[in-house]
Amino acid sequence: MEIVRAKAEHLDGIMEIERQSFPDPWSRGGVEVYLTDPSGEILAVLEGQEVVGFAIYHVSYDESELFTIAVRADSRGRGVGRALLDAVLSGAGARGARKMYLEVRRSNTAARTLYKSAGFTVCGERRNYYEAPREDAILMDRELEERK
């Protein structure tokens, strides 16, 4: 398992995981913009040449937001998500972020458990935030350590 900054060649694998993982997936263009956005980053988890997971996050001044994280179904339960989340937290801290925020579907207990185990706490909710199906978002945050 290798975690790299995603490149255009990884986009097909990322989009396949995105479509399989979420009922309302991001568009290809919505993901692609983060390949070159200087304040954002897409990390890809590779096994050989295959993408088995990815995360998209953004840093603005001293805050960051985890937009999405997903692992291919046949790679779940092997620590890929945790390794990816740790890389995101480290990367955001290295870019000067002091805090990270995220939103997660209320029903996504696996993700909520992962985030809680990584030190995130609930800081709010957004009613009916998600569509397809309509569902509340749980807001979570955590402090970050600056990494040099």
Going from N- to C-terminal start, the domains of the chain cover 2-143
β-sheet bridge partners, residue 57:
41, 66
Q: For 58-78, how does the pLDDT look when each residue is reduced to its tens digit (9 = 90+)?
A: 999 999 999 999 999 999 999
Q: Are 35 and 11 in contact (CB under 8 A)?
A: yes
Cα angle 35, 41, 42 (rounded to 5 degrees) comes to: 70
Torsion of the alpha carbons at 131, 136, 141 and 147, rounded to the nearest 10: -20
> Does the predicted model carry a pTM greater than 0.95?
no
Q: Are 68 and 76 in contact (CB under 8 A)?
A: no
C-beta neighbour count of 134 within 10 angstroms: 9
Q: For 9-51, how does the pLDDT look when each residue is reduced to its tens digit (9 = 90+)?
A: 999 999 999 999 988 899 999 999 999 998 989 999 999 999 9
Strand 50-60 with 63-71, pairing: antiparallel
- Whole-number Å distance between alpha carbons of 79 and 91: 18
2-143: which CATH number, 3.20.20.70, 3.40.50.300, 3.40.630.30, 3.90.25.10?
Answer: 3.40.630.30
